[in-house]
A and B are shown apart, each in its own frame.
Chain A
């Protein structure tokens, strides 16, 4: 039984670290701010959340379990807000989408053509 818990913890840790790595590769490879934001905020949140959950499963102390879970909830609440705010600010100021993006639904004129609004 204890072995099963340890195996679950090792699995969660590896998957979480893998998702953090995927997020940073996406940050490096994607073409513009908005698509990078999608990589960083979704995969990054999943990665660190999984590692905190692994800590909560591994620990046998109630205080540590609570803190780790509170950390997960807090991170899930704040990460989307932060990146949404950043995206809105960048779009309002006029950072453009990359030329290979297909459409811009927030554009005031033609969403399919006017990508540089």
Chain B
């Protein structure tokens, strides 16, 4: 019995050491850049009331992992504001991966640029 218990203890500690090594080597730091979103979207958070439902427009479309990561990480950072797909809102977040002429693209979506915060973050409002 004693030998069996020693074997069990040794196996368990061995497993824990292996687990420690694997976890230490495999941890990729913030692959979806969720941590940087609060700083990146700080201007929008100041400008938009916490109670708002905010529309969303981006140059990354569809269900690709990059587009989903960008949308969901922005949604998490902006909560309790509710970020929803589409531009039919009083406030619309522009979240872009590449620089573009935001003022030119706004009218075709019946939007106007409220403020360009840089780094691909633009706050649009509904065009009057």
A and B are interacting partners: no
* B interface residues, Cβ below 8 angstroms from A: none
